Structure 1
Amino acid sequence: MTSTERAARTSVADELCRSAYAAHDGPDVGVALIAAGGYGRGELAPHSDLDVVLVHDDGLDPGPLAQQVWYPLWDSGSRLDHSVRSLSQMVAAAEDDLKVALGLLDIRHLAGDPNLTLRLRATMLGAWRREARERLPDLRVLVDRRHDVVGELAHVSVPDIKEAEGGLRDATVLKALETTWLVDVSSAELERSRQSLLDFRDLLHDQTQRPTDRVAPELWEPMTQALDLVDAEAAQRHVRELGRRITHLSRLTWRRVDDMLARPASVRDARRPALEPIAPGIALARGEVVLAARARPDLDPSLLLRAAAEAAQRDAVLAPATAARLARESSELPTPWPAAARDALVRLLASGTGLLPVWETLEETGALAGFLPEWERIRMLPHASPIHRFTVDRHVVETCVEASALIRSVARPDVLLVAALLHDIGKGQRTEHSVAGEAIARAIATRMGFDPEGVDLIALLVRHHLLLSETATSRDPDDPATVAGLLAHVPDAASLDLLLALTEADSRAASPQAWSTWRAGLVTRLARHALAAAGGDPAPPALSGDLVVPALVEEGGVWVGVESDTDGTRVAVMAPDRVGLLADAAAVLALQRVPVHSARAWSQEGRTGPVGVSVWEVSTPDLDPRVLRERLVALAEGRIDVGARLARPAPGRLEPLVAVRSEASRSATVLEVRTDDRPGVVHRVCATLAALDLSVRSAHVATVGPQAVDVFYVQESGAGRLSDERASEAAHAVRRALSPIEGEAARATK
């Protein structure tokens, strides 16, 4: 079936309507027979209704014609949806009902007075464009409700190619949005997908011999031959891919509608949007992440991933034109990847719900294939298990979204997120997918530049991502033999923590039933037994080696150094060691609005006494070490009021977790802090500890997407480990310092 056949089918129906009008002496003035909806667009399927309206001028009675014109159409066996209305009644109906208004945007003249049809069409289009800003929010509600009820064409087991998200109804809505002249839609891409879905609907009507839009599971096999495809799976992929593309265009367009409606009129109507720089080479324009004016994709292979990460973390649109340009022009990522590219991927995967729309843009523009060509193995691949609510590729993205909420529970959040991305990469292979996936994941992780330990962990998690769930639900989790069997494959506590988090994320992404209270209880109980048997938490990370102390520091001064390369910028700070030095260094960077990705701090012996050293990994280039040093000296001398200049960090989405790891060190008390990454977090923690006269002898600070994962080795000033009471006091103080103000107020009233 093709558009040519639909046009021929429409032409036959048009001639039938004109003959019926003429046979009953329909007038040439004041009355018109018009086609609306799909018939108005000339898109009749074999069993479609003829949506026809007899319109007349106000005050004119069409007489017997209003009844008689329909009889020839009924006698022909056509399915008819008909009505008789005056021009003012048509206008009123469109004002009262959005569905009517949308249908009347596609009216087409059949017979009678063409000027009346033209007036009606001009009235409908004018009203739609004039009232669009007021009507679009209501249209959005209607669309969302339909999606909630019918589901997404790309994923539901029995898709409705008309009403489902990504179906023909959404394509019609997109055309209506474009008609407002307020937003742009990728018309060529939309029209290709829409026409292909119309072709499929024609075949579906012919196959079932009835006007259905729902594709029952048993219909995929018969449709295979009609589509000239190899098997039922290919037929599903074809149709669901069309739905995925229209869904992407729909979500993108509605985001643009939301942004347009939220902007002041002066900004909304500006011809050229203002560019707000947000990262090197990257800017924000009207809620979309785009390239900065002087960006050089050919010199920065990590630019695509960095732009995607910025968009996802800001819950902004990654402009499709930008993604497509980067896919074409970016220099090829070397093997192994530079640290900037790997870090950007991890930040992208850690962005939570912001990941999905950005990932869809990467897919639809072809940009994803540039850095993860293996994705094509699972693209639009249906799941064999009915417990899954998504295709394999979408399930993987949902697993990353779920994993992003669990990164505070593991020692290697980067490993967890990449393992979530790759855990089903072996599906579609002839061998068992976890076995096939292990080798694929190992090769990808190596290419991404992970350290050997990280590569081994990712491969292990992909190979055994089903082990914990399958063992817990098929064996007694309290039996020592069950625990021993698990430990034979996953022998250490760090790997077990990662496997537990991946199991939960994978299950939650599959369906609510896959992570029921019962199943979660069994899995968690087995994991706890195995963790106890494996010896608890892993050893703390090693401290950095000593650095050469400049003479300035030996004489009691402060030294700041800045070094930049392709992986970012490092700021080193050295000064005579004292309580609060690390807090002051963190405050200086926070005052400069410098985002901190990671930091290490330690104390080493100099010729004239202990020297405090800290090294900070930041993303801001071109920092002036003289300015940083002057501010650090001013802080130490009390010439800058940090409390006034650096406000409390904005409340985060999650309550902070502060744990005392008493077993992690013999010489210090270890505080593990996990919270949303916000400006000023490191300073807040260090200042709080300094106020308690506690010395931070070592700090291991890291940012993974939206999550700060910070470990502080704390001692009493001039002494050693904290007592249990002091450790508890420090943990509570840090937790209070990072908690939302509203939460403190609520606790104060209890």
Structure 2
Amino acid sequence: MASRIDAVPNRRAIIDRRVLADDIAALESDGPKLRAEAVALLKAALDKGRAEIADRLMQNPSRGLEAASGQAFLIDQIVRLAFDFTTKRLYPVSNPTAGERIALLAVGGYGRGEMAPYSDVDIAFLTPWKQTGWVEQVIESMLYTLWDLGLKVGHSSRSLDETVRMAKSDLTVRTALLEGRFIWGDRALNDEGVARFRREVVEGTDRAFVAAKLEERNERHRRMGDSRYVVEPNVKEGKGGLRDLHTLFWIGKYVHRVDSVEDLVDAGLLTPDELHQFQRAENFLWAVRCHLHMIAGRAEERLTFDYQREIAERMHYANRTGKSAVERFMQYYFLQAKTVGDLTGLFLAHLDEQFASRGSRFTLAAIPRRPRKLNGFRLVRGRLALPSDDFLQQDAVRLIEMFALADKHGLELHPAAIRAARRDARLIDAKVRRDPRANALFLDVLTSPRDPESVLRWMNEAGVFGRFVPDFGRVVAQTQFDMYHHYTVDEHTIRAIGLLATIERGGLKAEHPIATSIVRQIVSRRVLYLAVLLHDIAKGRGGDHSVLGAEIALQLCPRLGLTAAETETVSWLVRYHLLMSATAFKRDLSDFKTILDFAEVVQSPERLKLLLLLTIVDIRAVGPGVWNSWKRQLLAELFEGAEEVLRLGHKQTGRKERVEAKQQALAERLGWSKPDFQRYAKRLPEPYWVAEPLDVLEENARHVAESGDKQLAIAASVYPERGATLVTVYAADHPGLFYRIAGGIHLAGGSIIDARIHTTRDGMALDNFLVQDPYGQPFDESGRLERLKAAVEDALANRSRLTERLVAKPLPRPRADAFPIAANVLIDNRASNRFTVIEVNARDRAALLYALAYGLFQSKVTIHSAHIATYGERAVDTFYVTDLLGAKIIAPARLKALEKRLLEAAEGQSPVRAAA
């Protein structure tokens, strides 16, 4: 809008059109040379103007709208100069006809007077009728000039009739023209176009336009990830981004014919305070977008991790205790995105009310029944409303009661009630937080058997949640600067509560049969829901969030009405909410001491059930693609093993009896003769029978039998129960076998998620690997399986220059370089009775497992099993090892040397180079 551009300070320092016009007029060349000289002058002015805008933004890094408007002003002047040069110097006409008229319009974002440094220049050439030869020459020449300046131009050239016809049939064209702004040329023609657009296109189509824009918005959100809290947001198109603000303005302008955002207040769609929030969010988002374009050097809209750190620095965010500068910047970003979401909800609800006066509501369904007891609240067309504007102020507990009633009766909230809740949330003080009635109502919402996720999200967006539970308020919009967590802490928590409610209702029975069964057996539902609410509540404070969260639970739970025993259990669950996943994904579950150590911490079957449920919803709420059948299988295995110990104590089935039972079951499956099976069974040591499940034992037996006397046989098959591909290598055992296999699998594009290494009594290796592709899926096509087997065979036969090819292979996630991760090696001789357990934490990168395995080979240790876990950019690889004689590694000097070598491998130093 012109007024926004007019507000840009000291515009002539950006570009002085009159001086530049004089310089162009002074050019004395003709033909192609004249055009080249004019383009050179325009290009110099464009570069100088961009530099001036960039310099202003660096000096005042939060003035996003000023930078966006300054960019639009600069382009305006360039376009006007190009138009004048084309019509006056290149193709002048002394006496133009009625058809030789052109109006030049800025449309889309450029029409609003907002442009990022590398935004498209969207312009429309408007003519009265069909284009004349002169009009075609002017448009073509002008476009070539703009392209020569390096501008990315989106253009259209239409007559008045064509413009009206296209706007009627195409929503995109209609939206672009809605923001059309006259730049240069024939103003009378432009005015005629504006009048016809309003009269012939807009008039009487309000409802259809609003419905279409809302559906367009919903589809965009689905495409971008339907949450405003994805940790790498799209500043322009994402939920809570600039496009949502634009949509509000488009709808307001279309329905109420307003020309500026400020006019939305007069239309009754925004209050003055909400206008201020709109402008603050818009200014911040534009600042981020402009910085993003400048850093990327192109039209980049996604705020990825590698850009977040640099923009935080540009915008002068600093580190604070428990929060880095980039986390503080992203928290403020998501607070603004939340504001955009709040305004969007209120705006659309009010619009719905206004349309309702002309007919029925168009966005929200009417309720089927009318609840009787609303404790003074009212129903207005099926939505919970306030009897008076000061109703919440009379009793602040009603701020909680309002949401509890909405949950109980399945009601939506009236926009005026939401607006009042946002305004009055500040009334929730220590007195309200201590009120037993308020706490009981909040607990009812949290543990609702209906839809606690939606109602808690409403409470959060109104600011009531964070006021009533201040510790939760501290994590609202808080990010975790890593590639593992997809959402902010508050969004992750609310999603986890929703998942728990879905499991309890039986909605995920196929995926979580054990969880669906045990959720009905737990003693206290409210313990479980409180634990989910509080498990991450202490993030961003510095220190261990599990320990700090457990202390918060001890304070909060009694306030909410929990007993001392319930409070202790919630605190314990928060303290150990990462224990089950860490044990299942990083430890060898076939090593019975792993189960015993875990059970010793858990101590009761009830806690075990609660911990499993908490672990499942915590992992699933991290983000899409994080949960898989492999994790489900490992958690189920740990749960069943620990349950047996906790239920029966140490009187579990003895190791010898377990081996005999497995061998008997395998013999029945195979149907071999008794002598053949006994010969096979005697070849394999006892740990093999303990470690492998029955289906893998059968696969291995058939593979060994088919191999005969071969010294190398490789099998690969889909293992759906684990969501992976089972790769079995049967080969003559020799040092370095594991690292070569790992290298071959990686070269084939595979990622090892688990490995078990066995040696037969006659010197053959029988190694099982669970492998996934880069997307966390099994290799399932015959061609891919064959390539996987061939890559392993080539690696073992030294047919490929393994190390050089691995070093050259790029990491699928190069953005991991944005995160500072110090490699760490932990060596533990207490975690297992038979093995030394080594855990390596490092940045995930190409051939990491290969490098670590080679480091262990150099250190002359034997690997018995390997467990690989990846958390975004961080890899955690655990190895169960012994020395070459099968004993634990205990000599201090050897442990120190082993740690040093693995650190070098984790940091990408010597082992891979040595292997080359």
In structure 1, stretches of 5+ residues that fail to align are: 537-750
Give secondary structure in 2 for the equivalent of 1:58. coil
- Equivalent residues of 1:297, 1:330 under 8 A apart: no
**1:444 lines up with 2:556 in the alignment:** yes
Alpha-carbon distance, 1:398 to partner: 0.6
- Equivalent residues of 2:326, 2:481 under 8 A apart: no
**1:40 lines up with 2:136 in the alignment:** no
Deviation digits for residues 272-291 of structure 1, max 9, x if unmatched? x9998762133343454332
- CA distance in structure 2 between the aligned counterparts of 1:404 and 1:522, rounded to whole angstroms: 23
Amino acid at match of 1:184: L
**1:245 lines up with 2:330 in the alignment:** no
- Equivalent residues of 1:282, 1:295 under 8 A apart: no
Deviation digits for residues 70-99 of structure 1, max 9, x if unmatched? 344345444322221112222222223222
Alpha-carbon distance, 1:309 to partner: 2.7
Alpha-carbon distance, 1:327 to partner: 1.3
**1:302 lines up with 2:406 in the alignment:** no
Given candidates 287, 312, 330, the residue that maps to 1:199 is 287
Match runs of 1:63-74 below 5 Å: 64-74=137-147
Distance 1:158 1:413, change over 3 A: same
Amino acid at match of 1:113: D
Distance 1:28 1:199, change over 3 A: farther
Distance 1:388 1:8, change over 3 A: closer
Q: Counterpart of 2:302?
A: 214
Give secondary structure in 2 for the equivalent of 1:34. strand
Amino acid at match of 1:316: E
Q: Counterpart of 2:66?
A: 4
- Equivalent residues of 2:221, 2:227 under 8 A apart: no
- CA distance in structure 2 between the aligned counterparts of 1:133 and 1:75, rounded to whole angstroms: 43
Distance 1:141 1:449, change over 3 A: same
Q: Counterpart of 2:245?
A: 171
| TM-score (structure 1 length as normaliser) | 0.64
Q: Counterpart of 1:488?
A: 600
- CA distance in structure 2 between the aligned counterparts of 1:294 and 1:66, rounded to whole angstroms: 58
- CA distance in structure 2 between the aligned counterparts of 1:508 and 1:159, rounded to whole angstroms: 20
Q: Counterpart of 1:432?
A: 544
Alpha-carbon distance, 1:411 to partner: 2.2
- CA distance in structure 2 between the aligned counterparts of 1:157 and 1:16, rounded to whole angstroms: 38
- CA distance in structure 1 between the aligned counterparts of 2:450 and 2:414, rounded to whole angstroms: 14
Match runs of 1:334-483 below 5 Å: 334=432, 336-338=434-436, 340-351=437-448, 354-356=451-453, 358-383=455-480, 386-407=483-504, 409=520, 410-475=522-587, 477=589, 481-483=593-595
- Equivalent residues of 1:425, 1:441 under 8 A apart: no
Q: Counterpart of 2:746?
A: none
- Equivalent residues of 2:327, 2:480 under 8 A apart: no
Deviation digits for residues 257-300 of structure 1, max 9, x if unmatched? 67887x6944559xxx9998762133343454332349753554
Deviates most, 286-295 or 235-244: 286-295
Distance 1:301 1:245, change over 3 A: closer
Deviation digits for residues 110-150 of structure 1, max 9, x if unmatched? 12332332343344445346223224443333323322222
- CA distance in structure 2 between the aligned counterparts of 1:451 and 1:287, rounded to whole angstroms: 38
Alpha-carbon distance, 1:422 to partner: 0.7
- CA distance in structure 1 between the aligned counterparts of 2:411 and 2:84, rounded to whole angstroms: 58
- CA distance in structure 2 between the aligned counterparts of 1:66 and 1:399, rounded to whole angstroms: 57
Deviation digits for residues 50-75 of structure 1, max 9, x if unmatched? 21111012356445333334344345
**1:31 lines up with 2:68 in the alignment:** no
| TM-score (structure 2 length as normaliser) | 0.53
Q: Counterpart of 2:629?
A: 517
- Equivalent residues of 1:201, 1:213 under 8 A apart: yes
Q: Counterpart of 1:594?
A: none
- CA distance in structure 2 between the aligned counterparts of 1:426 and 1:337, rounded to whole angstroms: 24
Q: Counterpart of 2:163?
A: 90
- Equivalent residues of 1:378, 1:392 under 8 A apart: yes
Match runs of 1:494-505 below 5 Å: 494-505=606-617
- CA distance in structure 1 between the aligned counterparts of 2:636 and 2:435, rounded to whole angstroms: 36
- Equivalent residues of 1:290, 1:322 under 8 A apart: no
**1:327 lines up with 2:401 in the alignment:** no
Deviation digits for residues 294-343 of structure 1, max 9, x if unmatched? 975355443112212333452624643121244144575456440x3233
Distance 1:357 1:121, change over 3 A: farther
- Equivalent residues of 1:153, 1:160 under 8 A apart: no
- Equivalent residues of 1:302, 1:333 under 8 A apart: no
Amino acid at match of 1:131: T
Amino acid at match of 2:83: Y
Structure ID, larger Rg: 2
Alpha-carbon distance, 1:33 to partner: 0.8
Distance 1:475 1:153, change over 3 A: closer
Supply the RMSD in Å over aligned alpha carbons.
3.5
Q: Counterpart of 1:101?
A: 174
Alpha-carbon distance, 1:413 to partner: 1.4
Given candidates 269, 274, 277, the residue that maps to 1:184 is 269
Amino acid at match of 1:39: Y
- CA distance in structure 2 between the aligned counterparts of 1:28 and 1:161, rounded to whole angstroms: 46
Amino acid at match of 1:327: A
Q: Counterpart of 1:632?
A: none
Amino acid at match of 2:422: A
Distance 1:514 1:108, change over 3 A: closer
Alpha-carbon distance, 1:441 to partner: 1.8
Alpha-carbon distance, 1:13 to partner: 2.3
Distance 1:34 1:296, change over 3 A: closer
- Equivalent residues of 1:193, 1:245 under 8 A apart: yes
Match runs of 1:587-598 below 5 Å: none
- CA distance in structure 1 between the aligned counterparts of 2:467 and 2:474, rounded to whole angstroms: 14
- Equivalent residues of 1:290, 1:318 under 8 A apart: yes
- CA distance in structure 1 between the aligned counterparts of 2:231 and 2:427, rounded to whole angstroms: 39
Give secondary structure in 2 for the equivalent of 1:134. helix
- CA distance in structure 2 between the aligned counterparts of 1:276 and 1:91, rounded to whole angstroms: 50
Alpha-carbon distance, 1:240 to partner: 3.2
Deviates most, 380-389 or 195-204: 380-389
- Equivalent residues of 1:333, 1:371 under 8 A apart: no
- CA distance in structure 2 between the aligned counterparts of 1:101 and 1:4, rounded to whole angstroms: 27
Alpha-carbon distance, 1:462 to partner: 0.7
- Equivalent residues of 1:277, 1:283 under 8 A apart: no
Q: Counterpart of 2:75?
A: 13
- CA distance in structure 2 between the aligned counterparts of 1:351 and 1:318, rounded to whole angstroms: 21
Q: Counterpart of 1:641?
A: none
- CA distance in structure 2 between the aligned counterparts of 1:221 and 1:63, rounded to whole angstroms: 48
Deviation digits for residues 393-446 of structure 1, max 9, x if unmatched? 211111111122344523211221121111101211322221111001221212
Give secondary structure in 2 for the equivalent of 1:379. coil
Give secondary structure in 1 for the equivalent of 2:255. coil
Give secondary structure in 1 for the equivalent of 2:155. strand
- CA distance in structure 2 between the aligned counterparts of 1:358 and 1:177, rounded to whole angstroms: 27
- Equivalent residues of 1:478, 1:529 under 8 A apart: no
Give secondary structure in 1 for the equivalent of 2:440. helix
Distance 1:512 1:170, change over 3 A: closer
Amino acid at match of 2:118: H
In structure 2, stretches of 5+ residues that fail to align are: 1-56, 58-62, 257-267, 319-324, 505-518, 649-916
Deviation digits for residues 631-665 of structure 1, max 9, x if unmatched? xxxxxxxxxxxxxxxxxxxxxxxxxxxxxxxxxxx
- Equivalent residues of 1:152, 1:159 under 8 A apart: no
Match runs of 1:702-741 below 5 Å: none
Distance 1:80 1:282, change over 3 A: same
Match runs of 1:130-169 below 5 Å: 130-151=204-225, 154-169=228-243
